Structure 1
C-alpha cells in the first residue's frame, strides 16, 4: 500500500504571493482541492510544494492545482 509520503510531491512557482496572508489563501485553496493532502509554501521564493494523496492522477491534479491557485487570485508560472 502506498502512503501519502511515498507519492511524489508537485512543485510549482506561484506569482504574486507577497505575504503570509497570500500564502494562507493559496494553502486554503489547495487544501480544498481533491487529491491534495497538504502544501508547503515559501513566500519569499514563491515555491509551493503540493503533497498529493494519490487519489487523483498527476495530470488532473496539476490542472486542479493551477485552477485552485488561479481561483485564489494568483498564477502558477512555468
Structure 2
C-alpha cells in the first residue's frame, strides 16, 4: 500500500533527511521517497502503516503534514 503525504516546512536537504528518517522509523514502512521541491512524501508499506501515525510522526519532527489525496 502506498500513502502520499503533503509536507510543508521543508526548506533544505537536512529537512528532507529528517522527514525520511522519521517516516522510515514508523512500524510497517518499507520505503520512503521525499520530494523537497514538491513538498511531498510517498510511503510504501506492508499494509500495516497507520496514515495518521505517519502524519503525527512528521508533525512531531516540526513539519506540517497531511494525507495527500
Matches within 5 A, 1:36-75: 36-54=29-47, 56=48, 61-75=50-64
* Aligned-residue RMSD, C-alpha: 1.4
The 8 Å contact of residues 29 and 71 in structure 1, kept in 2 or not, is answered as: no
How far off its partner does 1:32 sit?
0.8
Query: Which ranges of structure 2 fall in alignment gaps of 5 or more residues?
Result: none
Structure 1: any 5+ residue segments left out of the alignment?
1-7
Greater Cα radius of gyration, structure 1 or 2: 1
Moved over 2 A (4+): none
Structure with higher helix content: 1
- What corresponds to 1:18 in structure 2? 11
How many residue pairs match? The answer is 67
